[in-house]
Copies of this chain bind each other. A is one copy, B any other.
Amino acid sequence: MPPPSNSARPNGKGLIELPDPLPEPAEGELKLEAVFAALADPLRLTIVRKLMLEAEAYDHTCGWFGFDRPKSTLTHHFRALRDAGLIQQRQYGLERRSRLRTEDLNRRFPGLLDLIRAWKPSSNG
């Protein structure tokens, strides 16, 4: 089964059904401290960066990232990112797919994503 398209949106003629996003802070509720705290972890920074640079047109599962970590650890980090408002998650059957909240972040914290784009994962460290 092909992954659900992320660009599917209501268009007035017909709706393409999309699962509701899991609970997340609204754009106006995003807190800079919380965003910084979420990005203080290298794994989470990698998740966000990978979503920004390598994501296809559809959302991605935990497995897509290829981390060699226990599932419970990944759940923890993805949840931290969603709680901080950096990613959005939708449940597609068994899979929980994530996407970056690019527009919200660019409106609320312009320049933030550029900082993450320029980050080099384990150089300069």
Contacts and interface: CB of A to CB of B under 8 A. Distances in A.
Interface in A3-58: 28-34, 36-37, 39-42, 45
Contact of A32 (B28, B30, B119): B119
A95 interface: no
Copies in the assembly, this chain: 2
A29 B111 contact: no
Interface in A79-118: 109-112, 114-116, 118
A124 interface: yes
Contact of A40 (B36, B111, B118): B36
A42 B33 contact: yes
Interface residues of A, number: 25
Contacts of A39: 32-33, 36
Nearest to A37: B40
B124 A115 contact: no
A33 B28 contact: no
A125 interface: yes
Contacts of A40: 33-34, 36-37, 40
